[in-house]
Structure 1
Amino acid sequence: MPRILKNIDQIALEKQRDVLYVLFHSSYNDIFNNEDLTLKFHYETCIARQQLIEWLEKHEIDFSECFGWSSRSGIMSMPYLGEIYLDVPFDEANPKYQLLYNHLENFDGSMKIQGVTWYYCPLSEALENHAQNLNDD
C-alpha cells in the first residue's frame, strides 16, 4: 500500500532538535555498491525489527517509520527498508534515552542486537542538508 514517509532530516527540522533512528540492514552503501538489498532483505519479516518494535511499545517509546537522509534531488529512488525514527531526545540525562542506550548499545559502542544499528541525526546537519537542497534547485 502506498504511503508517505518522512526522511530523518525532515523530522529533525520539524522537531527542531537532534533525532535518533534505527536501521535493520547493513547500510545504504550496499545499495550504492550495486547490491540490491530489496532482493535479500525484507523488513516485514525481520525478527530483530519485530522484537525491537515490541520492546518500544512495551516501554512506551514512541516511534514511526521513516527514510534515512533526504536526497538533494528530493526524489527517493530506493525502497523502504524498515527504518524507524525514535521519538526520544538525544540527551544522556533523559530516562528514555538511557533506557534505549542500555537496550541497544554496549559500553564500547558496539550494538547489542545483531542487525540493529541506531543513529544520531544532528539538527545542524539536517539544516545544512536542507540549505544545500534549496541551493541545488
Structure 2
Amino acid sequence: MPQLLQHIDAIAREKNRDVLFVHFENYKQHAQDPDAIRQNFMGWLEQHNIGFKACFGIEQNETLETYSGDLYIDVPFDISNPDFQVLSEYLEDEQGNMKIDGILFFTLSLELALEIEADRQAGLDPQIHDGFDDDDWDGVPS
C-alpha cells in the first residue's frame, strides 16, 4: 500500500523542535528478506511504546529519491526525557558510538530544518531565475 512520507526536516518544522531519526546502512527496499536489524529495532521501539514512522532523509532540491529505510523517532531530543534516555542507552555506548552495526542515530535541529526550508524557498523565488516563467513554456526545448 502506498504511503505518503515526509522528509525529516519537514517533520522537525511540523513538530517545531529538534527531531531524532535513524538510518539503516544495509536497507534494501522491496528485498525478499526484510532487513533483520531494522525489523528488530522497530520491534524494540514497539515494546517500549516509542512512536516512530518511516521518513525520507533531509530534503534535497530537485532530487527524486527512493525510500532508504529511515525512521523518525517520536521522542524529543532532551537528555532528561526518560524515553530519550532508554533509546540512547539502547543505541549508543558511553562514548556515543553505535552499539548496533548498521544503524546510524541522528538528531536534526529545528534551526537547521528552518534554514533548509528558507534555502529551498529562496531557490523557488522567481526573482532569482531571471524572469523564467514555466507557465509560458511550450514544452519545446530551445
Task: Give the alignment's TM-score, normalised by structure 2.
Answer: 0.81
Paired residue secondary structure (1:68): coil
The answer to which structure, 1 or 2, has the higher relative contact order (CA under 8 A, 6+ apart) is 1
Report how far residue 68 of structure 1 moved: 0.3
Contact 2:51 2:74 in 1 (8 A): yes
Partner of 2:121: 134
**2:20 alignment counterpart:** 20
Give, in whole Å, the separation in 2 of the partners of 1:118 and 1:93: 18
What TM-score, normalized to structure 1?
Answer: 0.84
Task: From the two aligned structures, give the one with the greater helix fraction.
Answer: 1
- The 1:38–1:95 alpha-carbon spacing in structure 2 relative to 1, beyond 3 Å, is closer
- Preserved CA contact (<8 Å) 1:23 1:82: yes
Alignment of structure 1 residues 1-137 onto 2, 5 Å: 1-25=1-25, 42=31, 45-73=34-62, 75=63, 77-137=64-124
Shift of 1:72: 2.2
Question: Between Structure 1 and Structure 2, how many residues are aligned?
Answer: 124
Unaligned stretches of 5+ in structure 2?
125-142
User: Which consecutive segments of 4 or more residues in structure 1 shift more than 3 A?
Assistant: 41-44
> Which segments of 5 or more consecutive residues in structure 1 lack a partner in the other structure?
27-36
Q: Please report how far the alpha carbon of residue 109 of structure 1 lies from its aligned counterpart in structure 2 after TM superposition.
A: 1.5
1:82: how far off? 0.9
Larger radius of gyration: 2
